[in-house]
Structure 1
């Protein structure tokens, strides 16, 4: 009887269940979508009960698609987006929505906390509205009723584990992303908890990524289509799991992921932080940390370009079939690297690394009468990669030079975007067959937990690779020249970004 493993990836916009063979070959995948709500400007919330239903549906659907027996699933590994925060009562019912990474309500709290450098040095979590620490301080200062009534404060993954198994546990990487966890001692930091106004017994117990939860209620197991004793393995957050799932686990192995947002990350054998506070450093296992930085602006930039400039392509895709993004990419491919001197600062959603500036704004620089739609699209795609490259510079300062680049996420399906990455970074970019690297990383931890895999490094032998994009030296020369200007623009425009952000807040 063939054995399979499922990676369940609870993301920002959907829950994805991917059924893998032990070789890493994808047998089936299923996705259940859910919305993000914005009840106030800059707020970003989701309904945790809707996400729970989506996760159950994703697992059930992938089992049905693969037409396999319950006993063939040896384990389910869990991946989730970082920085979510839910206030729950003693019955594990939500008192608040899931407040996600994109929520910006705690800008003022983050600005004050950032001055306390020791918080970052101990936790490795940059002080930014994305972090649960800043959200909790906002709740405390605003007498947020769910905060005042909460029995516990949990992430979306912990919420599911509590409801399905009654266990209050959290893996190291999700705990690290809260800003409350000391990455040197692997314990909740009491000084930071005091700042947040909460107690240690209101948080889950931090555990290793191979920790298992078992014993689903029979009715719930039947809904999912799995055996009640199927082990659910904690895994980690989507960032480090993407590195694992793509094989970027040695020093010098750099993973670049672009989905809705984006990130560049590298594994390390020791935690490293400094007073510049430019990058994150999260614990993953007892002897591995993940270092890097996220950008708020990945695929969301291409989506905005499509919505604003791509009406013709949307209509063509609707009437003639195909994909509007593919049509726009084809258009951008007709433009030479550098978009004829047009630069796009892609800060449409504020920015995280390396600036950690929620007031940053998107900007087109160098626009002339000779520029057309295709130049703007190409400049947008290049701007996202410039942004990742700027994070890569900060990462290189602490983690060393990149040796190998690996790409994952939705953008890994775009040959143009991958070529731009190779050309800007000046390194070959390796791409796996499956872009579901976070799910495969979670699945590999599950295989380790049940004894079906013997080491973390062994995953390198079980990642079917698709192709490698080689850098074009002439294009790299063009990009190096333009990047000097790109890098200087943020600092030059920063005062204007803050003035414009204030104007926008006052004239909603």
Structure 2
């Protein structure tokens, strides 16, 4: 069974900042795409929340927009596939009403609970069983925070879910979680693909308070008729639950074979590889999440990707913004043009890009950013290039951990917003020291969701078929001289982090409390 010329798959990708709805035709061709943004609320320091109902309405709006276009008019939507950001937590009461907003992955309110898990509650053993590093991002830490800091809310919660589960509950009236999203909670055993009873006991919750577990190919039918009609869909359309955005990004760029590494640098960053068995790191540096019940994605995310360049632009690049306006250029393009004037290594200026703390490989929410080696010779172009290099060095640090546990890369495929810049792509290639391939894939996670949907409904015999759909648009060869410079810088990057770890903790506490004195007495 294959897709006909007038048939299409609708992929819905629930991201941190927006919902993308993409209609795909044969072999992953994009027919039409729409994006609807939504805000991130920070009601307190270290908190990060979103309105689940607003996200649901964004889905409805995006689907309406896609299906009302002239491009979509001649196509029949055969199925829907879902992708979603990981690690969100939402509390629901027994009547199915919201008790909390969606507490998203960037939320750091549970720093103390994450440390308690690491130091007192067997966090490393939990990681080895579940594949989710102990960090404030995970629902594991967030539920423990709720139990300790908001006990009334904790005891009122009938169901702990994430944003995808909320959306599917609104569509179908049932609570289900795919293995992929569930494997990113810290609550799921990798070896059994079932909730970890020891973790549930630790948290003092029951499996009845968690969604039913299903494969990433699970098909839901019988959508709420009023919602289906509002979106312009049939209530009987097959909806494939899909997986998380990270593992689907590997699928979307065709990086599913042994040694095939996918690197994504958007707002944040990640590096991942698919394996045929669960794989965790004795040092706890990497994650392991499910793609299917027989394929696993190992790797790690960084907090600080393209958002670093945006921070630099917003805070320090007013002259570039004004010049770019006069020239009709994108300010980012002008900034990167400046960076191109500077040789590899930024003439001795090194940037540790931990402005939002850091996830892999350190899993340290207290890590803080640093420019090291500043001298009078350094100008704005040096700082711009150092930021580009620092973001890539953070990706490389995760790549080192990935290589240690899964073996060397045989192929590197890169995607994300950074890939628009030839300079930034070459820096990544030089740091990795290996040929870099850049595919023509605008929305890798959405394409992965579409491929999973096609596979689930029987239109694909294998997920590997997507490899033939991916067209490589850029190839970069490493400059070996630059690679040597970056290896030396990376050694320094690691040493600086190790030496300043205690100082990061002190500074983070100061920033949270505003009371510096107690942290440095003695």
Query: TM (normalized to structure 1)?
Result: 0.97
Contact 2:131-2:280 within 8 A present in 1 as well: yes
On the 8 A contact 2:187/2:196 being kept in 1, the answer is yes
Aligned mate of 1:499, from 493, 506, 509: 506
Tell me the equivalent position of 1:142.
Answer: 149
**Separation of aligned partners in 2, 1:415 and 1:476:** 17
Does residue 60 in structure 1 map to residue 64 in structure 2? yes
* Number of aligned residues: 508
Alignment of 1:240-319 (within 5 A): 240-318=247-325
Partner SS state of residue 291, structure 2: strand
The answer to whether the 8 A contact 2:66-2:72 is kept is no
Instruction: Return the offset for 1:355.
Output: 0.8
- The alignment status of 1:33 with 2:37, answered yes or no, reads yes
Q: Structure 1: 5+ residue runs without aligned partners?
A: none
Aligned partners of 1:350, 1:66: CA distance in 2, in Å?
A: 45
Instruction: Assess if the C-alpha contact under 8 Å between 2:32 and 2:71 holds in 1.
Output: no
Q: Write the distance in 2 (CA, Å) between the matches of 1:500 and 1:66.
A: 55
Contact kept, 8 Å, 1:26 with 1:434, in 2: the verdict is: no
Tell me the distance in 2 between the aligned counterparts of 1:496 and 1:10: 37
Quote the residue 1:450 is aligned against.
457
Cα offset, 1:490, TM superposition: 0.2
- The CA deviation at 1:87 is 0.4
Q: Residue 24 of structure 1 corresponds to which residue in structure 2?
A: 28
What is the deviation of 1:219?
2.7
2:11 corresponds to: 7
The aligned residue for residue 129 of structure 2 is 122
Residue aligned with 1:431, SS: strand
In structure 1, distance between residues paired with 2:355 and 2:484? 27
Distance in 2 between residues matched to 1:281 and 1:4, nearest whole Å: 32
Please state if 1:325 is matched with 2:313: no
**Greater Cα shift, 470-479 or 358-367:** 470-479
Aligned-residue offset at 1:70? 8.2
Residue 93 (structure 2) pairs with residue 89 (structure 1):
yes
Structure 2 CA distance for partners of 1:479 and 1:461, relative to 1, 3 Å = same
Q: Cα offset for 1:283?
A: 2.0
Q: 1:213: which partner in 2?
A: 220
- Is the counterpart of residue 151 in structure 1 residue 158 in structure 2? yes
Is 1:395 matched with 2:399?
no
Task: Give the secondary-structure state (helix, strand or coil) at the position aligned to 1:294.
Answer: strand
Tell me whether 1:366 sits opposite 2:356 in the alignment.
no
TM-score of the pair, normalised by structure 2: 0.94
Q: Distance in 1 between matches of 2:202 and 2:322?
A: 52
Q: CA RMSD in A?
A: 1.5
1:105 aligns to what? 109
Equivalent position to 2:194, from 187, 193, 200: 187
Conservation of the 8 A alpha-carbon contact between 1:22 and 1:462:
no
